[in-house]
Structure 1
Amino acid sequence: MIESTEHKHFPWFTTLFSLLLLCVYVVMAILSGSIEVAPKYLEYFGAPYATQIYSGHVYGVITNNLIHINLLHLLANLVGLWLFGAFIERRIGWVKMAAFGLVSSIFGSMIQLTLTDDAGLGISSALFGFYVLILIMSFRDERFKMKYMYVFGIALFFLLIFMIVNNQLFGEEIAIEAKIGGVFWGFLMGISQRESTIRWQLLLLFGLPFSIAASTLFYAPWSSQWQCTKGIAYHKKHELNTAKKYYQAAIHIDPSNHLAQENYKLVQIDQLAILAYDAHLSGEYTTARRYYLKILSIKKNHRWALDNLKELP
């Protein structure tokens, strides 16, 4: 619910949250020995990889928003937080501002994960949601009119265009989907408000897109990383044929999925090793040799295959 009362007090939540983001970044930068955070620390601080999220670490779509990869990334988000977050906190209070930012961030992360196999980092989805909410509410409430509001809007629009072009031309992986998710959530929240009361009929519809996005954490067959995660699960249970099918699906969706490629090779080796072992044990040495050589064609220095090949008569 958006209240019309403007809070004149200092935006303490925005301040404390900014300090939290800064502290998380500083600790990670110190451990990394650089202003660029080392990738190995991401999962330790709450940004698990896609396969980890799909395997149950769903907290990643929440905690990943606290992490920034470098100083420029952090500063850009802090500027947006103080421009839009503090503005909203003074008008709707810190509880509603924090709740809106949290939901926007989670929604944006889930959208990005299901479309790109990466949940992303930072609070940009919440910042875009904040701006859209301010823009829509400014048409209904004078207290939401912001100085240079349209200039900020044009800047954000061209920033999105720049990131899209940059991704296409230079193969960068700047998160676009999360920001669009934030815009969508800000729009939903904005149109649900009328004269300081919630239009519950529209508010109830919020659960539908959020539930659909949340369901993709558990079922996303179009995702290469989801397919790979399923393959890993069956691989651990030694259901090799099923695991192989999922790895093949993952590679078909994304031929650059190195984890799926390597695990697919491991499944092939495991299956060939079983056949080779049985043939060797039963005295079918020619057949065993053929299987050992196939294993070595997949992994050149496979110790087990090399040792057993030497034992053949």
Structure 2
Amino acid sequence: MLVAVAIGVAPAQAQDQFPTKPIRIVLPVPAGSALDVATRAIADELTARWGQQVLVEARPGAGGLIAGQAVATAAPDGYTLVGGPASLFTILPAQKDKLPIDVNKDFAHIGMIVGSAVLFIAASPKLGISTFPEFVALAKSKPGQIAVGTNGAGTLPHFAGLVLEKKGNVPITVVPYNQGGTMAAVSDIMGGRVHATIEGVFGLRGPLQSGDLKLIGQMALTPEPEFPNVPTVAETIPGISAIGFMNLAAPAATPEPILRRLAEGLREALDSPKVKQRYADLGIPIRNMTPAQTKAFIENEQKVWWPLVKEFSPQ
């Protein structure tokens, strides 16, 4: 009997002591991107709290499938996690009918690294416009000549551009940057090769502050409080919005005590003064969500985006 009790207690003790070795967070976004920087801020805080390294590994490509599959097939022990943006959880599954992973069955949600980040349209001041209605008028006067550079094909900014073009009937040319993402697009805007981009404002902080970009529209149904003077796209094209996020998730079979430990750690990290200051410096909103709230948020985004992705996916 004593042996049986000892054996039964051992796994619980191991979970209480979690983590006992380094944790790896795999991201489907480029190193140095705003979502990568935010995740590294969380990783540094968890490293300090837990006394075990929390490492961030950037593995972009295939709309998030490379990173997602690496984590979905990893040992469900809490030591391999994914930072999943909209491209992985809301865009990719609607694009492809047969995937090697099922995002709604192969992951257990932990919480949000970045939640509810409205996408903005930012344009070069050289266009001579200040608002989204002026942008639409310019595009209609030059059909196909106004190029909007976005993050890579299959990402939320890319599909936000396609929805703007096709559902909104704005005759722009959407150019996804599969190498370098938004940062490469911004570089080409400064070089005059494209004219605008779509991204969370935190990913555009530098060029906005330097005056190389100007916010002309926000893809929200109601204005963000921080940007009351930037018109919403919905004022011109009703119903169009795009909200970015970065979810932290583990393989689906990860034991519940370990998931609770991870969720607790993420919540405490987001509440820490260091992370709050780092997010404020980056312009990244903090939205602390429970695993259940995270799951519900993603399910709602899937209901919004899956029909749009299926309708407007490039053939």
- Indicate the structure with greater helix content: 1
Between 1 and 2, higher relative CO (CA 8 Å, sep ≥ 6) is seen in 2
What's the TM-score once normalised by structure 1's chain length?
Answer: 0.27
What's the TM-score once normalised by structure 2's chain length?
Answer: 0.27
Structure index of larger Rg: 1
- Indicate the structure with greater strand content: 2
